[in-house]
Amino acid sequence: MTFTEADISAIWLTLRLATTVTLLLLVIGTPIAWWLARTRSFWKAPVAAIVALPLVLPPTVLGFYLLIVMGPSGFIGQITHSLGLGTLPFTFWGLVIASVFYSMPFVVQPIQNSMEAIGTRPLEAAATLRAGPLDSFFTVVIPLAKPGFITASILGFAHTVGEFGIVLMIGGNIPDETRVISVQIYDHVEALEFSQAHSLSGAMVIFSFSVLLCLYWFQRKHSAFTPRAIHSSAKD
């Protein structure tokens, strides 16, 4: 595989985008996942549906509405413009915001599933030791939900790397600013540069396969150490 200078630039930009989005999603998605795992509110179903919407919504539709909201006449666009930041579309941070929305379910749902699997017993035990809600969350919930956090990080990162439709809608095709790997492959195909397209596409196939293989291996290794399995062993 041989990569051009533009290919390497696109790879580094993609890795930077995926890393930034994954870190932001872990911060934003953790409280959402915890609320969804614990609440019995009427609003649980609507909020869960909103979080999962990118799974069924075409990325161009989501990108279109984000483009309007972040544009000069949009709500977010007016705020960023009044702060002297300009508008977010066709910038790196515009891609970050769009990717956070688009990859949200891939981070929130694994964390939520892990938190739901914990049950109430560990929290009740922590309460008997006079641990407050915040202390219980950081010393009990997060360590027990660690497999969910690892799965969420892997999926969130990999999904962001593979984005195309929403990236093209929000970021366009600006070198060193919004041209990520998927857009670079598209450019190679348009220019009939099939050998370069093969190189980048082959790298993406290897990356995707490796990510899924590691994820399945990790889930298989840790399936015997879920909170429920630990509770069952403790009873015995």
Q: What is 5-231's CATH superfamily?
A: MetI-like (1.10.3720.10)
Q: Residues 49-85: pLDDT tens digits?
A: 999 999 999 999 999 999 999 988 888 989 988 888 8
Nearest to 122 by CA among 141, 142, 103, 99: 141
Q: Residues 153-175: pLDDT tens digits?
A: 999 999 999 889 899 899 988 98
State which H helix or E strand residue 86 sits in: none
pTM for the model stands at 0.86
Distance CA 51, CA 60 (A): 17
Q: Residues 196-231: pLDDT tens digits?
A: 999 999 999 998 898 888 888 877 776 644 444 434
Burial 190-222 (b: 16+ CB within 10 A, else e): eeeeeebbebbbebbeeeeeebeeebeeeeeee
Q: Residue 235: which pLDDT band, with cuts at 50, 70 and 90?
A: very low
Q: CA–CA distance from 28 to each of 45, 97, 138, 212 (Å)?
A: 19, 12, 16, 24
CA triple 46-51-52, angle to 5 deg: 95
Q: Are 155 and 112 in contact (CB under 8 A)?
A: no
pLDDT of residue 236: 35
Q: CA–CA distance from 74 to each of 7, 70, 80, 202 (Å)?
A: 33, 5, 10, 39
Q: Are 91 and 177 in contact (CB under 8 A)?
A: yes
Q: Which residues contact 162 (CB under 8 A, 6 or more apart)?
A: 182, 204, 208
Q: Which two tokens stand for residue 71?
A: 């544009």
Q: Are 190 and 182 in contact (CB under 8 A)?
A: no
How would DSSP label each residue in 144-193? HTHHHHHHHHHHHHHHHHT--HHHHHHH-S-TTTT--HHHHHHHHHHTT-
Distance CA 67, CA 84 (A): 19
Nearest to 94 by CA among 118, 123, 71, 121: 71
